[in-house]
Each structure stands twice: as C-alpha cells, then as structure tokens.
C-alpha cells in the first residue's frame, strides 16, 4: 500500500508492492530461453568455422556475432520484465519478427519449424498482452493529456 502526497506522488512503499504474476515470469523465461538458443547458435557457428565446414569464414563470424547480439538483447528484455519495467513495445516487436521467420521456414520446406515459429510468436504475444503482465509493468496507465513524467502538467515549467 502506498501513501501518496499530492505534489510528490508515492512517498512510502510497503513490501507487497513488487508482486509479479506468473505471466511476467513466463515471458521473461521465454525471452531467456531464446537468448540461450541464440547464444548456442553463435557457438555452433564458431565451431563450424573452426572445423572448416563453411565456405566463407567472415560471413559465418558475422552471423555468429549477430546471434550473440540478439541473444544479449533478448536477455535484456527478459531482465527488464522481471524488474517490472515497461518493455511491452520492444517485446511485441521482437515477437512479431517470428511471423516472417515462420513463413520463410515453411517456404524452405521446413513446415514443422515454420509452424513452431508461428506458435512461438502467438505464445509470446499472449504472455506480453496478458492483463497481469501489462499491469505489472505499468503498460497502459492513463495520464492526462500533456502531463509530464514528473507529475506536472504542460506549461508548469513556465510559471
């Protein structure tokens, strides 16, 4: 329970304020699993370079680095979910990227993998847009039009 002051907002916090529903843990865990998978894909790419199973080592290094960077970004999104920060927009964008991945996998004669990618996108979006997740990260909180983040209204800084 918070006690509030009209000028300062929340001034006291109680220990029960950091409740996180299971949907937040599930969304964070899913992003972390994807991060681990991308990191493993980068390691597999480097292994392919070392064993000489690739035609272009520089292209394989580039793919491995991109996989590691995406894995780090997915890890960050999962971490921010657990911290209760509003990363809904970033998570939705990353979830929607799995839709064309599924299409191209199906087009490349891997229908099961394509359907899996589409299922992954659907599960990610369902977890992200679940009302407990949105409430836990503060997504969709209504503010008055023109209200600043500091709690003032537009034009207060000029008075």
The answer, yes or no, to whether residue 74 has pLDDT greater than 50, is yes
- What pLDDT sits at residue 144? 59
Is 96 a residue whose pLDDT tops 90?
yes
pLDDT category, 147, cuts 50, 70, 90?
A: low
Greater pLDDT, 61 or 16? 61
Q: What is the pLDDT of residue 5?
A: 54
Claim: this prediction has a pTM higher than 0.85: no
Task: For the chain, state the CA radius of gyration.
Answer: 21
Average pLDDT over residues 96-123: 93
Residue 109 has a pLDDT of: 87
Of 23 and 143, the structure prediction assigns the larger pLDDT to 23
Cα distances (Å, whole numbers) of residue 155 to 6, 94, 147, 148, 152: 18, 37, 9, 10, 8
Question: Is the distance from CB of 67 to CB of 42 less than 8 angstroms?
Answer: yes
Mean pLDDT computed over 4-23: 62
């Amino acid at each position: 329970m918070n006690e509030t002051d009209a000028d300062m907002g929340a001034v006291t916090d109680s220990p029960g304020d950091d409740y996180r529903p299971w949907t937040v843990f599930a969304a964070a865990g899913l992003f972390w699993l994807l991060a681990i998978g991308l990191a493993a894909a980068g390691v597999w790419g480097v292994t392919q370079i070392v064993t000489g199973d690739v035609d272009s080592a520089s292209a394989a290094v580039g793919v491995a680095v991109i996989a590691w960077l995406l894995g780090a970004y997915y890890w960050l999104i999962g971490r921010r979910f657990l911290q209760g920060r509003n990363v809904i927009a970033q998570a939705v964008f990353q979830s929607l990227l799995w839709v064309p991945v599924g299409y191209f996998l199906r087009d490349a004669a891997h229908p099961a993998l394509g359907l899996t990618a589409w299922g992954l996108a659907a599960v990610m979006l369902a977890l992200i847009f679940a009302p407990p997740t949105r409430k836990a990260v503060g997504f969709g909180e209504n503010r008055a039009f023109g209200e600043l983040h500091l709690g003032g209204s537009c034009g207060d800084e000029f008075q």
